[in-house]
Amino acid sequence: MKIKFTPIVLIVTIFGLSCTQVQSNKATPLNPNGDSELALLMREMFDDGMRIKEQIKKGETPKVSKVFKEIHTVEATEPEKANSPEFEVFADAYLSSLEGLKNAASPHIPQSYNGVVESCMNCHRAMCPGPMVRIKKLYLEEEE
């Protein structure tokens, strides 16, 4: 009876250890400065942008489901930058371009969408250039 029990205990132990390792990998922050509320919000903005991009590429009318107005109030990794007048202007420009996309007529949707992405790039060029490589993935490619 003990011989049958030992392999089961060994398998359960190995499985338990492998699950523990996976959980610890999830806790690793993506940002070397930590994951601020603003960083998390911007990742959500990126994911939403990729979803909208795919809808446009499929010829669908994009669903702008969230407006991200909390960009003005969430905690930033570097609060002095996010509390600056420059950041406020860039955040307002983003919100305005997103509203423009929501209201864009069908033939203007791709241009309006790229305007939203450009508002992100403008802010990151001035405030925090690190994510620009990732943001570039949001642009719709020009049709040749």
- How does pLDDT run across 26-40, given as a tens digit for each residue? 345 565 656 899 999
State the average pLDDT over residues 48-65.
96
Provide the pLDDT confidence category of residue 138 given band limits of 50, 70 and 90.
Answer: very high
How confident is the model at residue 27, as a pLDDT? 41
State the average pLDDT over residues 2-8.
49
Provide the pLDDT confidence category of residue 134 given band limits of 50, 70 and 90.
Answer: very high
Judge whether 69 and 95 are in contact, CB under 8 Å. yes
Q: pTM of this prediction? A: 0.75
pLDDT in tens, 90-103: 999 999 999 999 99
Q: How many angstroms separate the CA atoms of 66 and 106, rounded?
A: 20
The pair of three-digit structure tokens given for residue 7, joined into one six-digit string: 């392999």
CA angle, 95 as apex, 89 and 96 as ends, to 5°? 85
3-state secondary structure 113-132: HHHHHHHHHHHHHHHCCCCH
Residue 23 has pLDDT above 70, yes or no: no
Please name the residues in contact with 131: beta carbons below 8 A apart, sequence gap of 6 or more.
42, 124
More confident residue, 63 or 2: 63
pLDDT in tens, 72-96: 999 999 999 999 999 999 999 999 9
